[in-house]
Homo-oligomer: A and B are copies of this chain.
Amino acid sequence: MDVKDLLERIESYLDKEVILQGWIRNHRKQKEFGFIDFSDGTSFKHVQLVYNNELKDFDEIQKFHIGSAIEVKGIVVKSEGSGQDYEVKVSEIKLLGDCPEDYPMQPKRHSMEFLRDQAYLRLRTNVFQAVFRVRSVASMAIHEFFQSRGYIYAHTPIFTSSDCEGAGEMFQVTTQNLEEIAKTGKTNNDNEYFGKPVGLTVSGQFEGEAFAQAFRKIYTFGPTFRADPSHTPLHVAEFWQIEPEVAFCDLEGIMDISEDLMKFVIRYTLDKCPSEFEFLDKFVENGLIKKLEGVINSKFVRATYKECIEILEKADIDFQFKPAYGEDLAKEHERYLTDYFKKPVFITYWPQKVKKCFYMKQMEDGTVANADLEMPGIGETYGMSQREDDFTKLENRIKELGMNEQEYIWYMNLRKYGTTVHSGFGMGFERLIMYMTGMDNIRDVIPFPRTPGNCLY
């Protein structure tokens, strides 16, 4: 039986015998009693095991170390102690797997840096039990949202021959032996699996658009890569993205979907992980639950970039960077705007010279049909756009930016063969999980973070 199953129906187990398997998270010993904080990882809440010196192997049990795997038989009883309503009065404990005293995950506060170096063990700590259960449940929420609305889950490729959006530096994949290149003084594509080195995708958007032109409503959810060597709490080399693409959908429509998705994922996850959020609210970000409820209950604002610049220009505040039409927004501007609106805000229709992505729908006034979602407290989260659906405009833009046109012929052809108004967005999953858990470093919301100089295991 899982601890989860036990706790969900604990009253029906009162005075009954249960057998549980799991690990000792903490162990308090008294002369005639012992208390084990017991978890099998299926529930954030632990079970208290109580044993006394009537057990024949009482002395043995008292020596059980923290981290050990045990099997326990006992009776569910009402607890007289504080902290839990029920506990298990032990009749038998078997040691399944010992854990020596050098076990690094002792029940005390460890620094996040220390825990990152123990990525394979940190999963057992309270904070990561909370974060990664939230991550798992939020993943399910995303699938649930899209599948129940008839979207197709598109598995877009990881290997890519194209440069995609130039969103960042790409990792290169090769099957050549680098030492051999050095030795012979030449590269040899005969040794390449694909006949040439290829890249790791930075986005599934383009293939997603091909899918949307066939299935109307699709989403991706998988790993993407950027070889950006920034050492910041927001950058990792490998991260998961959700990238919906929807045909016959304009910018307004994709903002609706985006807003609905975020509210759905937060609601679903709050409902399924009450203990986790209680813990995160208490120990990671005070007010977290209220913040998340606030998002669910607010109607997101939509304001054009132009309106936002006007608000900033009128603001009675001495910005370090003077806001000006045609310039990107600085962090301080974003902060002012989310304070001003007191709600998440989509900033729409940016000047093309600020948002340079070639695939965004070009408007007649020099703007593009895009939106960035700004969230109170963190600023920009992710962007969305209506995609350019006009073959000639897209082609001109590709030429203008000096891109390799050959690589994009198939992508341009989507505008030749039954083109549609279509839109999409790319939501960074880790940033969403950071926002939802209150964790302030992206390394702590992905199980095995990959950062410059760091590829553990």
Q: Which residues of B contact A96 (CB under 8 A)?
A: 248, 419-421
Copies of this subunit:
2
List, in ascending order, chain B residues with CB within 8 A of A183's CB.
Answer: 185
Measured CA separation A413–B98 after assembly (Å): 12
On whether the beta carbons of A419 and B182 are closer than 8 Å, the reply is no
Q: Which residue of B lies closest to A70 (CB)?
A: B418
Q: Given contacts A182-B185, A200-B173, is CB(A129)–CB(B215) below 8 Å?
A: yes
Q: Which residue of B lies closest to A123 (CB)?
A: B214
**Closest chain B residue to A121 by CB distance?**
B417
Q: Kindly list chain B residues whose C-beta atoms are within 8 Å of the C-beta of A186.
A: 182
User: Does A150 count as interface, using CB distance less than 8 angstroms?
Assistant: yes
User: Could you tell me the distance between the alpha carbons of A124 and B174 in the complex, rounded to whole angstroms?
Assistant: 33
Q: Is A136 an interface residue (CB 8 A)?
A: yes
Interface string of A168-211 (1 = CB under 8 A from B): 01011111101101111111000001110110100000110011
Contacts A42-B215, A174-B178, A182-B187 given; does A414 touch B222 at CB 8 Å: no
- Minimum distance in angstroms from A434 CB to a CB of chain B: 14
| A97–B448 touching, CB < 8 Å | no
Chain B contacts for A326, CB-based, 8 A: none
Q: Do residues B174 and A214 form an inter-chain contact, with CB atoms below 8 A?
A: no
Shortest Cβ gap from A113 to chain B (Å): 17
| B159–A140 touching, CB < 8 Å | no
Given A103-B417, A193-B452, A207-B448, decide whether A216 and B120 contact each other with a Cβ distance below 8 A.
Answer: no
Q: Does A274 contact B (CB under 8 A)?
A: no
- Min Cβ gap A190→B in Å is 11
Chain B nearest CB, measured from A229 CB (Å):
6
Candidates B136, B154, B155; contact of A154 at CB < 8 Å: B136
A214:B124 contact, CB within 8 angstroms: yes
Residue ranges of A at the interface with B (Cβ–Cβ < 8 Å): 2, 4-5, 21-24, 40-42, 67-69, 96-100, 103, 105, 119-121, 123-124, 128-129, 132-133, 135-137, 139-140, 143, 147, 150-162, 169, 171-176, 178-179, 181-187, 193-195, 197-198, 200, 206-207, 210-211, 213-217, 222-223, 225, 227, 229, 237-238, 240, 247-248, 389, 410-411, 413-421, 446-448, 450, 452-457
